[in-house]
Amino acid sequence: MLTKFIIDEVVDRALAEDLSGEDLTTMATVSADTRARATAKAKSALVVCGGDVFKRVFKRLANDLSFEVCEPDGALVKPGAPIWRVEGAARPILMAERTALNLVQRMSGTATLARQYVEAVPPGAKTRIVDTRKTTPGLRSLERYAVRCGGAHNHRDTLGSAVLIKDNHIEAAGSITEAVRRAQAYAPHTSRIEIEVESLEGLDEALAAGADIVMLDNFAPAEIKTAVARAAGKALIEVSGGITLPRIAELAGQGVDVISVGALTHSAPAADISLDIQRVE
């Protein structure tokens, strides 16, 4: 669920970029009493995401439009499927079209990609696909929501939610043990402590220090399996970096708990959604 005040802020900002002036074309060519019905349709298979955002863009320009949700967020739809409908005065519908599509195409694109990764996890495997902090600046809440609509999970939402110790932090603290100790002493007791290690020795040290989650950096497949076995019952194992769809099944098969995929938010192609606009009387 996306909270209303977050949607409102994103939509106003997006509209302001496109409509700081007015829509010259629509005001010139379309009369005030022309009415239209617009249907957002999937042009390829996709996971729907952004119904509330779509609606808000149009409503921000005209309060008296009517809406229909044909497919809820999270639905997997076939090419040609109608997703949402909006009907009313043609002017605001035409003015809002591009902004609405820019938003929902991105959201649905991320949801669709997330679902592909989730479906690549073999049935029965407990592995979780998660996003990263590599989100589009200004759209983090929307993209994390899209990840969930695709069936994947979120990683920590901000630098203040949980601890993730990387090489520079370890170097500054002096050792894995000391870095974990400092984090345990400092962070809220509600935050898990995650640490990235580069070797099985690092893993052992992290486990001994009481890390909750260990991220494996650049481990060979055999090492990953060993790591999973050593961490069992003590910590979660996460792999990250250079993850592609074809690798998911193997990693899940090795028993990895979490696979974090930056591409979900930084490289998801926009979903192909068009808005068919018909004049109505």
Which is the catalytic residue, given 4, 166, 198, 201?
166
Measure the CA–CA gap between 119 and 113, rounded to whole angstroms.
10
How many residues bind to a second copy according to rule CB under 8 A?
Answer: 101
Whether 166 sits among the annotated catalytic residues: the reply is yes
Measure the CA–CA gap between 215 and 263, rounded to whole angstroms.
18
Are 230 and 79 in contact by the 8 Å Cβ rule? The answer is: no
Angstrom CA distances, 162 to 12, 16, 189, 208, 274, stand at: 31, 34, 10, 20, 39
Q: Does 241 bind a second copy (CB under 8 A)?
A: no
Site for a second copy in 203-222 (CB under 8 A): 213
Report the residue from 120, 258, 261, 273 that binds a second copy according to the rule CB under 8 A.
258
Which is the catalytic residue, given 134, 140, 225, 230?
134
Q: Which is nearer to a second copy, 166 or 201 (CB)?
A: 166
Who's near 176: CB < 8 A, 6+ residues apart? 165, 170, 195, 197, 202, 205, 206, 209
**Interface region with a second copy, contact rule CB under 8 A, candidates 41-49, 115-123, 134-142, 197-205:** 134-142
- Phi, psi at 239, each rounded to 5°: -115, 150
Measure the CA–CA gap between 205 and 176, rounded to whole angstroms.
7
**Interface region with a second copy, contact rule CB under 8 A, candidates 9-17, 73-81, 112-120, 246-254:** 9-17
Site for a second copy in 144-203 (CB under 8 A): 144-145, 153-166, 168-173, 179, 182-183, 185-192, 194
Are 114 and 29 in contact by the 8 Å Cβ rule? The answer is: no
- Kindly state the smallest distance separating residue 206's Cβ from a second copy, in Å: 13
Whether 134 sits among the annotated catalytic residues: the reply is yes
**Interface region with a second copy, contact rule CB under 8 A, candidates 116-124, 132-140, 216-224, 245-253:** 132-140
Q: Does 228 bind a second copy (CB under 8 A)?
A: no
Residue among 161, 164, 162, 140 nearest 264 (CA)? 140
- Kindly state the smallest distance separating residue 86's Cβ from a second copy, in Å: 14
Q: Which is nearer to a second copy, 132 or 222 (CB)?
A: 132
Which is the catalytic residue, given 73, 196, 238, 257?
196
Site for a second copy in 15-54 (CB under 8 A): 15-32, 34, 36
Measure the CA–CA gap between 211 and 275, rounded to whole angstroms.
49
Locate 52 and state its tokens: 């509330």
Catalytic (active-site) positions: 98, 134, 166, 196, 217
